[in-house]
Structure 1
Amino acid sequence: MSAWYLGAALFLLLNLFAGLLRVFRGPTHADRMLSVELFGTTTVAMLLLLAYAMDMTALLDVALLLVLLAVVATIAFVRGTGKFFR
């Protein structure tokens, strides 16, 4: 079963490269911010999969910390721009 978790984590890592393309080519700041949020959620999912595959509970704490940082970054972006929905 841990091989399945590692394979899923590898697939999510490949998914990050698609988001990296959007960071560099995004036409607006909102597109770039959404791709950065994709990085955050994908990284959390990868950490959770790796925590279960390698039986390392410390990775669960790191994933929780990254979720909190992603929420703070999103709030800062929305409050800073004020034009998110245009």
Structure 2
Amino acid sequence: MPDLYHALTLFLLLNLGAGLWRVVRGPTAADRMLAAQLFGTTAVAILLVLAQAGGVAALRDVALVFALLAAVAAVAFVRRAWPQPEDDHDRP
């Protein structure tokens, strides 16, 4: 069974390589944002697989932190890349 976990981890690392190609290649900011989300999701998956394979419960906690950071990073990117138009009704 540990060989299956290691093969799955290798597959996920190759998936990260494909995402890195998309970050470098582009062509739009949305593509880059989705690739960054892929990095976060894949990092969480790798940590969960390694936690199961090695029996290290602390890796599950690290995976949870990475999941939260990936969500915050996506929101920050969207807020920065696509600013909301100013609305006169929001001003006091």
TM-score, reference length from structure 2: 0.85
For 2:36, the equivalent position in structure 1 comes to: 36
Cα RMSD between the aligned structures? 1.0
Q: Counterparts of 2:41 and 2:10 in 1: how far apart (Å)?
A: 15
Query: CA offsets, 1:46-71, max 9 Å, x none?
Result: 10000000111110011000000001
User: Could you list the runs of 5+ residues in structure 1 that have no partner in the other structure?
Assistant: none
Q: Summarize the alignment of residues 55-66 of structure 1 with structure 2, pairs less than 5 Å apart.
A: 55-66=55-66
Instruction: Tell me which residue corresponds to 2:69.
Output: 69
Query: Displaced runs of 4+ in structure 1, greater than 6 A?
Result: none
In the alignment, is residue 78 of structure 1 matched against residue 78 of structure 2? yes
1 CA distance for matches of 2:8 and 2:69? 24
The CA deviation at 1:77 is: 1.3
**Cα offset for 1:82?**
2.2
Q: Distance in 2 between matches of 1:39 and 1:33?
A: 10
Aligned residue number for residue 27 of structure 1: 27
State the structure with bigger RCO (CA 8 A, min sep 6), 1 or 2.
1
Matched position secondary structure for 1:56: coil
Contact (CA 8 Å) 1:44, 1:67: kept in 2 or not?
Answer: yes
- Structure label with greater radius of gyration: 2
Q: Residue 20 of structure 1 contacts residue 35 of structure 1 at CA under 8 Å; is this kept in 2?
A: yes
TM-superposed deviation, 1:81: 2.1
Which residues in structure 2 correspond to 1:9-20 (within 5 Å)? Answer: 9-20=9-20
Deviations 1:18-59 (A, max 9, x none): 110000001111101100110110110010000000111110
Identity of aligned residues (%): 60
